[in-house]
Amino acid sequence: MIGRPWWTPWLWLAPALILLGVFLVYPTVDTFRRSLLDQRSRDFVGLDNYRFIIENPQPLVSDTHSALLNNVMWLTLFTVLTVGFGLVFAVLAARVRYEAVAKAAIFVPVAISFVAASVIWRFMYEFNSEIGTVNAGVTSLGGDPTAWLQNTGGLQTWLTDTGPDKWPGPLQINNMALILVGVWIWAGFAVVVLSAGLKGISTEILEAARVDGANEWQIFWRIIVPVLSPTIVVVSTTLVIQALKKFDLVWVMTGGRFETDVVATLFFKEAFIVRDFGVGAALAVVLLLWVVPIMVISIRRFQFQEETR
């Protein structure tokens, strides 16, 4: 615009740029730097910290191996279950008149904090089957109660009383229990987004399919899922990112004990309890490295959707 001094835009941008520089740009660079230094951030140690993460168990902190793999378990199981449930529920709810109420019921957990959710589910998972809802349900169906959050056995062990007592980290029941809480919380998000996407499918396509003789199952797999796939990808990437960054839930429910640690809880322990800034920084970098590609995909998808509108 004519008459606007050259420095005006920069003035408007200044507060945002300064805050971003101080809190995001500078720290990111600094954390990279620290990941190559020792625990007090004084001496250069090269890639030692990274090697440590990959190889080492340590007294105060749980097995790092399982932390990384736990995250992998999260991002597969959690994502698949949440998206799956979200999709099915969105499709079913679209057929009833009280759709809005039903969706609201599923959506409520999204509003509460992870901390509050953790409290709810600690209560639900309580070992004492007089109190703990899940165990009460299990015993009433004739099974044995278990300490969900501490049980390091596998699904098979619990169901059939055979098999090894201790399963590899990611496949442990307590991990599953935590993941289930995650699904409980995030399903509502998936339902809302997928439901919005579902509404975008023109009814004519569905009617044409029905006239062509497709049954509901076929319609679901051959029309709804493919047409909805961009939305499914957006939801999935969001959930994967959540899974990778998961902290609050695990921290409050188990503190990462009983081999439920994830990279984010490990980071907190290393950086702020053990106070090894080098390893802590290295863990943060690991988090960054595996979140970035997913977010790039996610943003690009979103940009693409915006542009084609």
Work out how close the CB of 70 gets to other proteins at its nearest, in angstroms, rounded to a whole number.
16
Work out how close the CB of 71 gets to other proteins at its nearest, in angstroms, rounded to a whole number.
12
Rounded CA-CA distance 139/5 in Å is: 75
Q: Per rule CB under 8 A, is residue 258 in the interface with other proteins? A: no
Query: Do 74 and 243 contact (CB within 8 A), yes or no?
Result: yes
Find the DSSP H helices in the chain. Answer: 8-20, 26-35, 48-55, 64-73, 79-93, 99-111, 114-124, 133-140, 155-160, 173-199, 203-211, 216-219, 225-245, 248-253, 263-268, 277-307
Rounded CA-CA distance 13/116 in Å is: 37
Work out how close the CB of 19 gets to other proteins at its nearest, in angstroms, rounded to a whole number.
4
Work out how close the CB of 59 gets to other proteins at its nearest, in angstroms, rounded to a whole number.
21
Touching other proteins, residues 163-202 (CB under 8 A): 184, 187, 189, 192-193, 196
Q: Per rule CB under 8 A, is residue 149 in the interface with other proteins? A: no
Q: Per rule CB under 8 A, is residue 252 in the interface with other proteins? A: yes
Query: Do 172 and 151 contact (CB within 8 A), yes or no?
Result: yes
Roughly how many angstroms between the first and final C-alpha of the chain, as a whole number?
A: 29
Q: Which of 129, 115, 66, 52 is CA-nearest to residue 258?
A: 66
Using DSSP, state whether 173 is helix, strand or coil.
helix
Q: Per rule CB under 8 A, is residue 304 in the interface with other proteins? A: no
Tell me the Cα Rg of the chain.
Answer: 24
The CA-atom distances, in angstroms, between 116 and each of 111, 124, 147, 166 are 10, 12, 20, 30
Work out how close the CB of 157 gets to other proteins at its nearest, in angstroms, rounded to a whole number.
25
Touching other proteins, residues 58-117 (CB under 8 A): 89, 92-93, 95-96, 101-102, 104-116
In sequence order, which residues have a C-beta less than 8 Å from that of residue 143 and are 6 or more positions away? 159
CB closer to other proteins out of 26 and 166: 26
In sequence order, which residues have a C-beta less than 8 Å from that of residue 277 and are 6 or more positions away? 34, 37, 39, 40, 41, 271
Among residues 24, 80, 155, 225, the one that binds other proteins under rule CB under 8 A: 24
CB closer to other proteins out of 17 and 205: 17
Phi, psi of 288 (to 5 degrees): -60, -45
Among residues 119, 209, 219, 227, the one that binds other proteins under rule CB under 8 A: 119
Stretch binding other proteins (CB under 8 A), from 42-50, 52-60, 158-166, 289-297? 289-297
Query: Do 281 and 214 contact (CB within 8 A), yes or no?
Result: no
Q: Per rule CB under 8 A, is residue 141 in the interface with other proteins? A: no
Work out how close the CB of 279 gets to other proteins at its nearest, in angstroms, rounded to a whole number.
11
Rounded CA-CA distance 262/255 in Å is: 10
Work out how close the CB of 189 gets to other proteins at its nearest, in angstroms, rounded to a whole number.
6
Touching other proteins, residues 211-250 (CB under 8 A): 234-235, 237-238, 241-242, 244-245, 247-248
Q: Per rule CB under 8 A, is residue 156 in the interface with other proteins? A: no
Among residues 52, 121, 148, 258, the one that binds other proteins under rule CB under 8 A: 121
Stretch binding other proteins (CB under 8 A), from 52-60, 66-74, 119-127, 154-162? 119-127
How many residues of this chain interact with other proteins, rule: CB under 8 A? 97
Q: Per rule CB under 8 A, is residue 155 in the interface with other proteins? A: no
Work out how close the CB of 196 gets to other proteins at its nearest, in angstroms, rounded to a whole number.
6
